[in-house]
Amino acid sequence: MKSRYIIRIVYSVVKFALSVIVLSVLVFTISRLAPGDPLYAYYGERVEKMSMEEQEQAREKLGLGESIPTQYVRWFQGAIHGDFGISYKYKMDVKEVIAERIGNTFFLGGLGFALIFALSLFIGLFCAWREDKIADRVICGIGTLTSCIPEFWMSLLLILVFAVWLKWLPSSGAYSVGKERSLTDRTAHLILPLIVVVLGHLWYYAFQVRNRLLEEVREDYVLLARMKGLSGKRVLCRHCLRNVLPSYFSMMAIAFPHILGGTYVVETVFSYPGIGTLAYESARYQDYNLLMLVSLLTGTLVIFCNILAQWINACIDPRIGAGRESRQGEVGSL
């Protein structure tokens, strides 16, 4: 029994490691095949004044002279020892560049995720309870509308209304100059991006919860539960929700990187100093090392969350566990 678990864990770790390596090869190759010159990121406009030889030397210095496989092997050797190279644009260790900003992204993404997680469950339950009544229809209408608006456009609209016209909230950044430690100032900067992140994803998940609940409501066990004298609301919360939650948890585990990805777009529009803005800049300016680490971090998170989702599903749903047990029973009886 114990060895089965160890095998499963080892299997998951190997799968995880392989996925990350494949991802790194892909990002490495694609970024170098993309058009553009990384020298611009390092030297800026000066590149145009350099002679061909000087450019060649500069390339050599940055380790870009060799073939792509050789470059990858060198990068990989460094990466194993924790050396991910320097950022061409910021001219310092990429780890430091990211460390400065990753907190901002996780704060925005994490807060957005928590809000989406709780709100979509609540809205989904409410809509399922009021199925096809006025309240449900209105919420469905508004939800579909908000989820169809592209995030960048919604961001611009909110900036226009709340920052430009009403002047209630700041339009960009994570804090005003000189107020880095002021909580109110940080919160004020967070509100608009947070609204966009939440509104952009909320309805998709709330709608999933609503529809799954409505499927459950039509199951036989609901009749039996109502036969006990339970009210419709109790049956929904105690019986149907229990059957929806496993798939909801695994859905949200997969959603985490998705929502984080959503913050990347929002960060760019609001010039919010997070790794989303970094990812965009590094791809634009061929800042290879920075791009590698940002993609790897995001990719690792995605893969990790997917594996986590599988585990959550297997743990919560008694039927999956039962399947395993009964199979063991068969082997034993043979």
Residues in the chain: 334
Sole binder of another protein in the list 135, 138, 223, 315 (CB under 8 A): 223
Measure Cα distances from 322 to 3, 9, 325 in Å: 18, 20, 5
Sole binder of another protein in the list 114, 224, 310, 324 (CB under 8 A): 224
18 near another protein (CB under 8 A)? no
| Structure tokens belonging to residue 93 | 């260790």
| Structure tokens belonging to residue 15 | 């799968």
Min dist CB 314 to another protein, Å, is: 14
User: CB of 145 within 8 A of CB of 299?
Assistant: no
**121: Cβ contacts below 8 Å, ≥ 6 apart:** 206, 209, 248
| Structure tokens belonging to residue 216 | 């459950």
Min dist CB 326 to another protein, Å, is: 9
135 near another protein (CB under 8 A)? no
For residues 231 to 270, the per-residue mask of contacts with another protein, x marking binding by CB under 8 A and - elsewhere, is xx-----xx--xx--x------------------------
35 near another protein (CB under 8 A)? no
319 near another protein (CB under 8 A)? yes
DSSP secondary structure of 115-154: HHHHHHHHHHHHHHHTTTSHHHHHHHHHHHHHHHS-HHHH
317 near another protein (CB under 8 A)? yes
**Total residues at interface with another protein (CB under 8 A):** 22
130 near another protein (CB under 8 A)? no
Binding residues vs another protein (CB under 8 A)? 219-221, 223-232, 238-239, 242-243, 246, 317-319, 322
